Amino acid sequence: MNRFNYLFSSTKGLILTAISLIAIVTAVFQTLSGPMVEWGIKDVTVKLLGMDLNPQERAGRIIMLYHTIAMAVVAIEVYMITSIVPMRRHEQRNINMFITVGYMTAMVFGLGFAYWGHNFTFHGLFLVGQSLVFFSGVMLAVALNPWKKEYYVTDKEFAHFKSGMDMERMAFFVMTIAMLISAGYGAVTGSFWSNGHETFLAEDLIRDPHKTHLQKAIIGHLHIMLTLIAVAITLVVGRWLKFKGVFHKIAMPFMIVGTIVIAGGVWSVVWTHMAHTFIYIGSVGVMLAAFMLVIFSWKKLIHDNAAEMGYENPNFIQKLKALFHDPIKFGPGWQMVFMNFTVSGVGIFMAIKLEQIFRVWPAREERITLTGHWHILAALIATIIIMYYVDIVGIKGKIRKWFGWILIIGSDIAFASMTIYSMKRLVVPNEVAQQGVVNTTMLLTDFGLGAILVSLAILLGWKLFDLFQKDGLWKKEAENPELEAEKTSDPVFNLKRESEFNTEGGVK
Amino acid sequence: MRKLVYLFFVLFAFASCSKEVIVNQEVKPVDTGVNPDEWVLVPAGHFYYNMHAHDAVIDNDYEIMVTDVTNKQYAEFMNKAVAAKAIKIDGDSIKGHYPGDPFDGYLHEWKIPEGDYVLMPFGEPGSHIKLVDGKFVVDKGFENHPVVMVTWFGAKAYADFYGYRLPTEKEWAKAARGTDKRAYPWGDEISVAVTNFKSSHNAIQKMLDAKIGRTTPVGYYNGKKYGDFQTEDNRSPYGLYDMGGNVWQWVGDDYPDVHYRYMRGGSFDNYEYNLFVWARNSAGPDYYGINVGFRCARDVKTETVTEVAVDSVSADTLKVEEIEVKVEEIEK
C-alpha cells in the first residue's frame, strides 16, 4: 500500500488526514480573531493569502468555517464507527469514500466561497460536498441497521434486547438517524438563503421576542448537531475502552431514549415552547449513560493498571496512581466529568437563572457565556478525539504520559478560565474589578490552548516526518488499518461467512 | 511530571499578579479641539439599515450631537436638574421619575412601572462624577471623556431636561453610516489609530495603564497627533465622532413585547465586530456600565419654521436674521 492509499483509504490514514486538515484550517483561521488582531497577525494572513473579508459577510464566513470543521469532525467519527462497529466491508468502503470526498469538497469550496470572494460555483460545490456527507450518513444508517440478525450480540455481557438485538448498535443507529433529520433542519433552512432567509448568528437573536420558524430551525439545528456529535464520540469511546457488563446494560437504554428525547425536543422548538423541558429530560438520559461509561472505564483502568504496576491489593493511593497511570485512557472519562462544570452545568444554571441573572446582564455578556459554552463542548470533543488518535498510533511511555497530561491540564485550564471569564459578573460584580479577572483568565486560556496546539503540532509534525520515511510507522498502520476494538457482535460467527466483514481489528 | 505541576503553579501565580486597577486616577487633560456642544443636521431620506443593508427611510430631518455627552455636560445637568428639583439625590445615587413602560406581558418581558429610578450611581468605581459638598464634580482630566455609568433612565432624563430626546435606532444608524453600505462609521477598515476598541493601545491607555481599557476624550480620533500617537479621523459621513468604539450609546426606542433598551456603537471593551454600524447590545433600562454612555438627538422644525414665517410675516420684507428672531419669538 502506498502513502496515498494509506492516507485516503485506510481508517487510520483517513483519521490522520482529517485531523491534519482540521489543524491546518484552525491554524490559519484562528489568526483572524481575538488577540491575533491586536498582534497584527490577521493583517499578515489576509495579505499573504489574498483573502477578501467583507465585514457585511462576517456572519456568513463564520457559518461556513464551522460547517467545514464540523463536517471533518463528523467524518472522523464516521471512520471510527465504520471500523469498530461490525458491518460489511463494501459498506465501510463506500461510506468512507463518500464522506471523504464530501467533507473535503465542502471544506475547500466552502472556505473558498467564504474567504476568497463570492464565486457561486464554489458555493454550489460546497453544497455538493455537504450532500455527499449526508448521503454517506444515509448509507451508514443502512449499514448500522440493528434488526439484521447477523449483528445480534454474541457476548451476553453487552447490552441487548430479549431477542438478542444489540443495544449499542441501536444507539449508534438512533444517533445516525437523528443526525440525518437534524441535518435536514439546517439544509431546508439553508436552501431559503437569500430567498427570504438571511444569514445570522444564533447568538445575535437571543433577545429577539419574535423569531421566524426558519430562525428557530437553525437554532435547533446547531444545538442538536453538536449534541449528537457528543453522543457519537461517547459511543465510540465506549468501544475503544471495551465498555461492557452491567454498566453497559444500564447505559445503553438511557443513551437510546435520551438521544431520541433530546432530538425530538430540539426539533419541536420550531412549533412549541416546550423544547427545553424535553431537552432536560433527554440530557439526563445521555449524561447518565456517559456517567456509566466513566465509572466503568475508571474501574477498569484501576484494575488493569494496578495489576500492571504490581499492586496486588491496592490501597486508595495506589488505586489513584493506577487511575492516573495512563492519562490517554483516563482523559476521555475525565473530560466527560469536567464537561459538567464547563458545559452542562453552565447551560442548566443559565436556563434556571436566566431571568434573575443572565437577562440582567448586557446582551453581549450573555452572548459570551452562550458561545463560550458551546465552543468548550466542541473543544472537549476534539481533545477526546486526539486522545483516541494518540492511542491508535501507539504512542507509549513517557511521551504518551506527557502528551496526555498536557492535553488534560492544558484544556482544563483553558476551559475553566474561559468559564470564569464568561461568568465573571457572578463572582466579581464590579465592572472595573472584572478587568483584572479578564486579563488573568485570557492569559490562562491562551496558555492552555497554546499548550494543546503546540502538542498537536508536534504530533502531526512527527507523523509528517514519518510519512517521508521509506519504512516508517505509516507502513505498519497501512498493513493493519482497522481500529482495535472489542466488537459487540460477530457476524462472521453468526453467518459463518468470513471475508465480507470488517472484523480485522476486532479483539475477540 | 512534578516539574510540569510546578510550572503550572508558577504560571498561574504569574498570571494572577495583575496590577491593581485605579480607574479614577487623575489624568492630564487632553484637548482634542472638538466641541461637544456642537450638533449636526441629518437630512431626511433613504439609507441602508443593518447588516443586510435593507433600504430604509427616515421622513424627517433631525439633528444629533457631534459627540457623546461628556462627564462635564452630565455633571452640569445634574447640578441644574437637582437645583430645579427635576431629579433628586437619594443615598448613593441620583434618581429621576419615569412614567413607566407599556407592558405587553410577553415571554421574558419585565414590567417597568411608574416610579423613581436610578439615573447614575456615584461613588462606584468607574464613575468619574462625584458629589462634593452638594455639587457634582468631575475627576480631573475626565471632563471631556464620555459620561459612563449612566442608566437608560439617566440618558433620557438628560435629554428630557434640555428638550432633546435619545435618537431612535434608525436615526442612530443613519447618522453613523450615511447613505452608503459601509461597515464602520468611517469606512470599511478598522485599526488602532482610528478608534478606541479592545485592540487599542492608545496614548491615554499608555499614560494610565496599558493593561486596562479606558475611555478616550470625545473626538479624540480626529487626525491629531498626541505625543507619538497619530490618530486618524473617525468622523461618520455626517461628521459625528466616536460612532464606533469608546462607549456604547443608549438609543431611545421602547419596542413592544420587550423591556430591553438597546445600545449601539461598541466600546473600548469590545472586539471590532461589535463596532459595526449594525451591531446591537441591550440591557434593562436600569443597567449602567463603565463602557455605556449616550448622545442626544432633536427634531428640526424646518417645515414648521417656514410655514410660520410665511404665515406670520411678509417674507420678502424681512431679512433671514429677522425671520429667525421672529420664529424664536413665536416658538416661545
Instruction: For residue A211, give Cα distances in angstroms to A185, B152, B262, B263, B284.
Output: 16, 26, 18, 20, 20
pLDDT value at residue A299: 96
Residue B257 CB-density burial (10 A; 0-12 exposed, 13-18 middle, 19+ buried)? middle
Return residues 321-360 of A near B (CB < 8 Å). 354-355, 359-360
The Cα-based distances of B248 to A297, B269, B270 in angstroms read 51, 10, 10
| Mean per-residue pLDDT, B304-316 | 41
Find, in chain A, the residue whose alpha carbon is nearest to that of B250. A362
* pLDDT, mean over chain A: 92
Distances (CA, A) of A92 to A85, A87, A141, A194, A232: 10, 7, 12, 37, 17
Asked if residue A451 has pLDDT above 50, the reply is yes
pLDDT at B308: 40
CB contact under 8 Å between B126 and A363, yes or no, is: no
Inter-chain residue contact B106 with A209, CB threshold 8 Å: yes
Tens digit of pLDDT for each residue in B190-200?
Answer: 988 999 998 88
Least confident of A4-8, A294-298, A348-352, B118-122: A348-352
- Alpha carbons A233 and A126: distance in angstroms, whole number: 25
What's residue A428's pLDDT? Answer: 87
Per-residue pLDDT, B10: 56
Which residue of B4, B12, B184 is in closest CB contact with A444? B12
Distance (Å) from the C-alpha of residue B290 to the closest C-alpha of chain A?
7
What is the tens place of the pLDDT at every residue in A226-249?
Answer: 999 999 999 999 999 999 999 999
Residues 17 through 36 of chain A touching chain B, CB cutoff 8 Å: 33-34
Q: Give the C-alpha separation, A235 to A217, whole Å.
A: 26
Residue identified by cell 447490552 is A159
pLDDT tens sequence across B10-43: 555 555 544 444 455 667 788 999 999 999 999 9
pLDDT higher than threshold 60 for residue A277: yes
- Which grid coordinates are listed for A481? 488499518
pLDDT of residue B311: 41
- A195: which residues sit within 8 A by CB, 6+ positions away? none
CA atoms within 13 A on the CB side of B190: 29
Instruction: Name the nearest CA neighbour of B288 among B149, B123, B138.
Output: B149
**Quick one: what percent of chain B has pLDDT higher than 90?**
69
What's residue A475's pLDDT? 93
Whether A33 has a pLDDT exceeding 50, the answer reads yes
The set of cell numbers assigned to A88 is 460489511
Q: How many CB atoms lie within 10 A of CB A169?
A: 28
Give me the pLDDT at residue A285, please. 95
Task: Report CB contact under 8 Å: B270, A443.
Answer: no
Domains of chain B by residue range: 26-300, 301-332
The pLDDT assigned to A38 comes to: 79
Ranges of H-type helices in A50-119: 58-84, 89-115
Tell me the average pLDDT of chain B. Answer: 86
If we measure between CA atoms, which residue out of B146, B149, B148, B152 comes closest to residue B117? B152
- pLDDT tens for B232-268 read 999 999 999 999 999 999 999 999 999 999 999 999 9
A33, closest residue in chain B (CA to CA): B271
- Closest approach of B36 to chain A, Cα-based (Å): 26
Q: Please return the burial class of B131, using the count of CB atoms within 10 Å of its CB with bins 0-12, 13-18 and 19+.
A: middle
Q: How many CB contacts within 8 angstroms connect chain A with chain B?
A: 104
The beta-carbon neighbor of A432 closest among B23, B199, B211 is B23
- Residue B29: its pLDDT value, please? 85
**pLDDT score for A350:** 85
Q: Which residue has the higher pLDDT, A123 or A497?
A: A123
A361 vs B: CB within 8 A: yes
Interval B48-87: pLDDT, tens? 999 999 999 999 999 999 999 999 999 999 999 999 999 9
* B283/A56 CB distance under 8 A: no
Residues ≥6 apart with Cβ < 8 Å to A487: A84, A85, A86, A239, A503, A506, A508
State the average pLDDT over residues A68-96: 96
Task: Give B45's strand partners.
Answer: B58
Largest CA-CA distance found in chain A, in angstroms, rounded: 72
Nearest CA in chain B to A399: B1
**Partner residue opposite A355 with nearest CB, options B108, B211, B257:** B108
Q: How much is the pLDDT for A507?
A: 45
- Contact list in A for residue B259 (CB cut-off 8 A) is none
- b/e for B222-241, b at 16 or more Cβ within 10 A? bebebeebebbebbbbbebb
Please indicate if any CB of chain B lies within 8 Å of the CB of A207: yes
Helix axes B71-83, B152-161, angle to 10 degrees: 70
Give the residue from B19, B194, B273 with the most A CB atoms within 10 Å of its CB, the best one to mutate.
B273
A40 touches chain B (CB under 8 A): no
The highest-confidence range among A412-426, B145-159, B299-313, by mean pLDDT, is B145-159
**How many Å lie between the alpha carbon of B258 and the closest alpha carbon of chain A?**
7
What are the pLDDT digits (tens) for B162-213? 999 999 999 999 999 999 999 999 999 998 899 999 888 766 766 665 556 6
User: Please, what is the angle between helix B2-16 and helix A397-422, to 10°?
Assistant: 20
A261: left (phi over 0), alpha (psi -120 to 50) or beta: alpha
* Contact with chain B for residue A204, Cβ under 8 A: yes
A314: pLDDT confidence band, cut at 50, 70 and 90? Answer: very high
* Distance (Å) from the alpha carbon of A322 to chain B's nearest alpha carbon: 15
The residues that bridge with B63 in the sheet, in sequence order, are B41, B298
List, for residues A140-187, the tens digit of each pLDDT value: 999 999 999 999 998 999 999 999 999 999 999 999 999 999 999 999
Contact between B53 and A56 using a beta-carbon 8 Å cutoff: yes
Distance CA A433, CA A425 (A): 10
Residues from chain B contacting residue A38 (CB–CB below 8 Å): 192, 198-199, 201
pLDDT reported for residue A197 = 80
- Closest residue on chain A to B288 (Cα): A362
- Chain A residue numbers with beta carbons less than 8 Å from the beta carbon of B260 are 207, 363
Model pLDDT, residue A198: 87
Among B14, B21, B128, B250, the strongest candidate for a mutation testing the A interface, having the largest count of A CBs within 10 A, is B21
Q: Å from A208 to nearest chain B CA? A: 8
- Determine contact: A399 vs chain B, CB below 8 A: no
Cα–Cα–Cα angle for A186, A190, A192, rounded to 5 degrees: 135
Cβ separation A432–B1 shorter than 8 A:
no
What's the pLDDT score for residue B211?
Answer: 55
Q: Which CATH class is domain B26-300?
A: alpha beta
Residue B320 is predicted with a pLDDT of: 45
* Span A375-411, pLDDT tens digits: 999 999 999 999 999 999 999 999 999 999 999 999 9
Query: Within an 8 Å CB–CB cutoff, is residue A196 touching chain B?
Result: no
Nearest CA in chain B to A368: B270
Structure confidence at residue A342 (pLDDT): 87
DSSP 8-state class, residue A193: B
Task: State the smallest CA–CA distance between residue A12 and chain B in angstroms.
Answer: 30
- Measured between CB atoms, does A210 come within 8 Å of chain B? yes
